[in-house]
Amino acid sequence: MELNSINQIINAISYSRLLLTFEALEPIKLPVYQGSTFRGCLGNAFRRLVCKFPSQSCERCGLIEECLFSYMFAMPLPREHPAFGRFTTPPRPYILNPLGNKTILNKGDKFGFELTLIGASAKKLMPVLPEVFSKMGEMGIGEDRGRFKPLFWFQENKEGAFEPLMVNGKWIELNIPFIVPTSEGAQSLKLRFETPLRLMYSGKPATGPPEFKDLVDSLLRRISLMANVYCGAPWVDLMSLASGAENIAINSHKLEWVNWQRYSGTKNMHMKFDGHTGFIEYYGEVSKWLPLIKAGETLHAGATATFGLGKYTIVHNE
């Protein structure tokens, strides 16, 4: 299979992106990295609204395959899946990006997040999302569970602008821009990791600068599963296409290792979400990998992408 096949799988991924705005009804204190807090609030609201057996774990529930909460937050990879064994769970079908970085909100302050929904998840969620957002506000958020209310929600259109989304409006499905990969010439590629990138090796986080091969492996795994599980694409093991990425070297970097952890009520444990932020520049024949790297700008990379981490932008390639 040629590297051009990567573009075919990327093109199969559709997504919808919402921009949600809320108003604080009382003071709210948020952590520096807010993605996990918003995700926890979103998950708790979902569970309270749709879960029929809230005291039971999803793994032991007979309704796991039809429950909207498990689909979004706990669905395992089916045992009959060709990749079962190597992977036990698919990436979750959403990415949550906080807007702004204020940690202290007063009554009347506005805040919010972008919610990217992958594939069929948008249509599945449409009937319940308004009630979920209201429930989030009723439950409150942050250290003191400050209450808030939903104000506006918009969706991104195909021109990259956001327009109002009515409750009974039509979802706009977007696709990642098609890029024709090439394989000629040595090039450089500079990336900026805006939120901590966490790559794992044998269950442990990689604390050294991320090698290009490891970034490629992470993206290939993520995109293969997303396209198949949520977008109806045939299963293609893109990991077999990673050959050659090991020849691309780190030219320079200015990275910082950020330590951060959160408490997971679902798993009843503290979870670490540390990783690299900053700049890194790779050198080699990177041009043929640009479709994959470009897709990662939308889909993020690493083990904590769902929380808005692993977000990066291409600074330049030349």
Domains of the chain: 4-13+182-317 (3.30.70.1900), 15-175 (no CATH)
- Check if the beta carbon of residue 284 is closer than 8 Å to that of residue 212: yes
pLDDT at 35 exceeding the cut of 50: yes
Answer whether 0.85 is exceeded by the pTM.
yes
For the beta carbon of residue 220, count every other beta carbon within 10 angstroms.
21
Question: What is the biggest distance separating any 2 CA atoms in the chain, rounded to whole angstroms?
Answer: 58
User: What local confidence, expressed as pLDDT, does residue 260 receive?
Assistant: 74
How large is the average pLDDT for residues 293-299?
94
Q: Does residue 181 surpass a pLDDT of 70?
A: no
Structure tokens at 102: 């204020």
Distance CA 300, CA 117 (A): 13
pLDDT for residue 296 is more than 50:
yes
Least confident of 27-36, 50-59, 162-171, 231-240: 162-171
What proportion of the chain, given as a percentage, has pLDDT over 90?
Answer: 49
Tell me the C-alpha distance between 199 and 219, whole Å: 10
Q: What angle is formed at CA 180 by the lines to CA 289 and CA 175, rounded to 5 degrees?
A: 90
How confident is residue 123, by pLDDT bands cut at 50, 70 and 90?
A: confident
Confidence check: pLDDT of 26 > 90: yes
Q: What is the pLDDT of residue 94?
A: 95
Is a pLDDT exceeding 50 seen at residue 1? no
pLDDT tens per residue, range 71-110? 899 888 988 999 888 888 899 999 999 998 899 999 999 9
